[in-house]
Chains A and B, each alone.
Chain A
Amino acid sequence: MSDILTIAMPKGRIFEEAADLLREAGFRLPAEFDDSRKLIINVEEENFRFILAKPMDVPTYVEHGVADLGIAGKDVMLEEERDVYELLDLHISACYLAVAGLPNTELNEIAPRIATKYPNVAAAYFREQGSQVEIIKLNGSIELAPIIGLTDRIVDIVSTGKTLVENGLIEYERIVDITSRLIVNPASYRMKEQRISELVNRLTDVVKEKESAK
């Protein structure tokens, strides 16, 4: 029973990409996960249990040990700073965090304001730049903030840049590149060492192969 590996995954595109990687690594996953409303999916052939979580919550499940492993974006890892092992860069869902705003605008001198879903990352970034800013946390559609005048800039994920362009925003600075990572709970990393090492090794090979083919 304790052989089951519980893997926390973000719903949606990352889940599909990660599932593909696992299949390529030779794990027998069903061709399609049909019922998309399910929160827990058991794959008995491999003794896996997938928990489908909000991307921002994946490291939380893993840190508390209710999930042994997880797949989380580096953006989430930077924001949440959870005590988990970051073992492998899966090189999927590549994007980056950037500072964006309306063209030809400058930061308000008295109270420069930044809207973001990543208050910790944004605060740390601007502090490193030596500027003191006020962070306003939003939960989505961050592009709205500069358009309607809530803030001068936003800090958000950019993958193609299309969303920015469509909303008349431009990128000012690139903060950090983001990809999805395989993360592991420190206790599981020991107590289920064999199974986890095997999974990590097989995924490492697949990722390496894909990277060298690029």
Chain B
Amino acid sequence: MSSLFMFEKPLGMRDTLPAIYERKYNLKQKIDTEIKKWGYQFIETPTLEYYETVGTASAILDQQLFKLLDQQGHTLVLRPDMTAPIARVAASKLLTEEMPLRLAYNASVFRSQQREGGRPAEFEQIGVEYIGDKTISADGEGISLLIASLAEAGVENYQVSVGHIGFVQSFFQQILGTKERAESLTKYLYEKNYVGYRQHVEQLALSSIDKQRLHDFLKLRGTQEVISLAKQLIEGNQGSKAIEELQQLWDILVDYGVEGKVRFDLSLVSHMSYYTGIVYEVYAEGVGFPIGSGGRYDLLLEKFGKKTGATGFAIRVDRLLEALGRIEKSNNIECILFSNERRKEAFQLAKEKRSAGIQVITQDINGVKDVDACTKQYNEITLLVGKAGMEVVK
């Protein structure tokens, strides 16, 4: 292997330089504040977890995990998501009473990348987990909080795409009979391969009516009307629970007043086995990838020994920044240039400005080689040099 250059970073790792840091920080603050206002409590969990527990419970593919060994020979993973660690904490420590838990996080997660650039291997997520409540009100709260957070962040054009895994499963099983057959058809949806889906349907030994039902299933996209269309597609009671839930969800979203941002897409399958009910992804103008996603995952807590429902979402901070577009570089930092004679005066002035909330640096003029270049960087310059009075340059 050739030796590394000093500037190289591992594949997918990024630096955050001051201008971006500032924007990211402000953005996270806004979202955090909103989430807190809804009564969610933030927690932190370790960066490293055991592969055997959190690693395998996570929804992230095995080949995307960063793995290492500890001194005892246990395999560790850099946390690939925050949901599994939070499920671990909740199940082992917090879920002592029969009370719904509202937890939130703001953390980096790690997913190793094989492909080219444009896919960070470490990125920040802000999200919530609402544990111990199986009602659709919990799902509705998740979606509405997501929308409130995006509004707070200043994103204008976005859409939350909502599906229901339970509906897909019961509808497919009703027509296809077995779980295995339903799963192989679901896989086409997961891969977003509608051509393959249709070809597969054509090859199945089914009546032309059932084939048509499966074809029509792909058209279940839109707003409220989708629910009644879905109702027409299923027969009997199987799958009607899911339809009821979708109707409830719609009513809840209307009561929150956020239904305008939501579209149903019942063919949405974001994971083959992780989610169990309502799932959603959020897309924004100008970003090719989802900026956030979420859903109900009622089976995860069981892996940590607690049988209870949960739902949650995560927003990708990096993609959200992309959605907000380029904002011109601005810093509001002021500069006081001083020489030794007036050092005390400079410090005094800086103290006053700082307590007024102004960002200010004090710079010994002898430490600057090019005063003009230095002054150009700042909003306002105060020169406290020599014995003259205070001088404001710009």
Which A positions have Cβ atoms within 8 angstroms of B? Answer: 2, 63-66, 83-89, 181, 185-188, 190-191, 193
Determine the distance from Cα of A65 to Cα of B285 in the docked complex, in whole angstroms: 10
Determine the distance from Cα of A84 to Cα of B193 in the docked complex, in whole angstroms: 8
Complex contact A64–B288 (CB within 8 A)? yes
Asked if B289 CB lies within 8 Å of chain A CBs, one says yes
Nearest B residue to A185, CB-CB: B288
Complex contact A89–B288 (CB within 8 A)? no
Residue with the highest number of chain B CB atoms closer than 10 Å, among A63, A65, A187, A191: A187
Q: How far is the CB of A144 from chain B (nearest CB, A)?
A: 28
Complex contact A190–B192 (CB within 8 A)? no
Asked if B161 CB lies within 8 Å of chain A CBs, one says yes
Complex contact A87–B118 (CB within 8 A)? no
Complex contact B195–A187 (CB within 8 A)? no
Question: Are A187 and B288 also in contact (CB < 8 A) when A83-B192, A88-B195 are?
Answer: yes
In the complex, chain A residues whose CB is within 8 Å of the CB of B195: 86-89, 181
In the complex, chain A residues whose CB is within 8 Å of the CB of B193: 86
Please tell me which one of the listed residues A85, A181, A186 contacts residue B283 in the complex, with CB atoms under 8 A apart: A186
Question: Are A63 and B283 also in contact (CB < 8 A) when A86-B196, A186-B192, A191-B159 are?
Answer: no
Complex contact A190–B288 (CB within 8 A)? no
In the complex, chain A residues whose CB is within 8 Å of the CB of B198: 89
Question: Are A64 and B118 also in contact (CB < 8 A) when A87-B195, A186-B283, A191-B285 are?
Answer: yes
Question: Are A191 and B288 also in contact (CB < 8 A) when A84-B192, A86-B193, A86-B196 are?
Answer: no
Ordered by A's residue number, 14 sampled pairs between the chains whose C-beta atoms are within 8 Å are A64-B118, A84-B192, A85-B192, A86-B192, A86-B193, A86-B195, A87-B194, A89-B195, A186-B290, A187-B283, A187-B289, A190-B159, A191-B285, A193-B221
Chain B: residues with Cβ within 8 Å of the partner, total of: 22
Nearest B residue to A181, CB-CB: B195
Nearest A residue to B192, CB-CB: A85
Residue with the highest number of chain B CB atoms closer than 10 Å, among A64, A87, A190: A190
- Among all A-B residue pairs, the 8 with the closest Cβ atoms: A65-B288, A187-B283, A85-B192, A190-B283, A86-B193, A89-B195, A190-B159, A86-B195
Determine the distance from Cα of A87 to Cα of B196 in the docked complex, in whole angstroms: 9
Question: Are A190 and B194 also in contact (CB < 8 A) when A64-B288, A65-B288 are?
Answer: no
Q: How far is the CB of A3 from chain B (nearest CB, A)?
A: 12
Asked if B101 CB lies within 8 Å of chain A CBs, one says no
Asked if B263 CB lies within 8 Å of chain A CBs, one says yes
In the complex, chain B residues whose CB is within 8 Å of the CB of A89: 195, 198-199
In the complex, chain A residues whose CB is within 8 Å of the CB of B159: 190-191
**Residues 236-281 of B at the A interface (beta carbon under 8 Å):** 263, 265, 281
Q: How far is the CB of A123 from chain B (nearest CB, A)?
A: 14
Determine the distance from Cα of A188 to Cα of B161 in the docked complex, in whole angstroms: 12
Q: How far is the CB of A210 from chain B (nearest CB, A)?
A: 16
In the complex, chain A residues whose CB is within 8 Å of the CB of B13: none
Nearest B residue to A61, CB-CB: B288
Q: How far is the CB of B191 from chain A (nearest CB, A)?
A: 8
In the complex, chain A residues whose CB is within 8 Å of the CB of B283: 186-187, 190-191
Complex contact A190–B289 (CB within 8 A)? no
Determine the distance from Cα of A187 to Cα of B284 in the docked complex, in whole angstroms: 7
Q: How far is the CB of B61 from chain A (nearest CB, A)?
A: 13
Determine the distance from Cα of A2 to Cα of B286 in the docked complex, in whole angstroms: 9
- Besides A64-B288, A88-B194, 16 more A-B contacts (Cβ < 8 Å) are A2-B157, A2-B285, A63-B288, A65-B287, A65-B289, A86-B192, A87-B194, A89-B195, A181-B195, A187-B283, A187-B287, A187-B288, A187-B289, A190-B161, A191-B284, A191-B285
Q: How far is the CB of A49 from chain B (nearest CB, A)?
A: 15
Nearest B residue to A74, CB-CB: B195
**Residues 148-179 of B at the A interface (beta carbon under 8 Å):** 157, 159, 161
Determine the distance from Cα of A83 to Cα of B198 in the docked complex, in whole angstroms: 18
Complex contact B194–A85 (CB within 8 A)? yes
In the complex, chain A residues whose CB is within 8 Å of the CB of B194: 85-88
Q: How far is the CB of B56 from chain A (nearest CB, A)?
A: 23
Complex contact A66–B288 (CB within 8 A)? yes
Residue with the highest number of chain A CB atoms closer than 10 Å, among B118, B199, B283: B283
In the complex, chain B residues whose CB is within 8 Å of the CB of A86: 192-196
In the complex, chain A residues whose CB is within 8 Å of the CB of B265: 190
Q: How far is the CB of A69 from chain B (nearest CB, A)?
A: 12
Nearest B residue to A88, CB-CB: B195
Determine the distance from Cα of A102 to Cα of B199 in the docked complex, in whole angstroms: 34
Nearest B residue to A2, CB-CB: B285
In the complex, chain B residues whose CB is within 8 Å of the CB of A188: 288
In the complex, chain B residues whose CB is within 8 Å of the CB of A181: 195
In the complex, chain A residues whose CB is within 8 Å of the CB of B288: 63-66, 185-188
Determine the distance from Cα of A65 to Cα of B161 in the docked complex, in whole angstroms: 17
Nearest A residue to B222, CB-CB: A193
Determine the distance from Cα of A87 to Cα of B288 in the docked complex, in whole angstroms: 17
**Residues 288-306 of B at the A interface (beta carbon under 8 Å):** 288-290
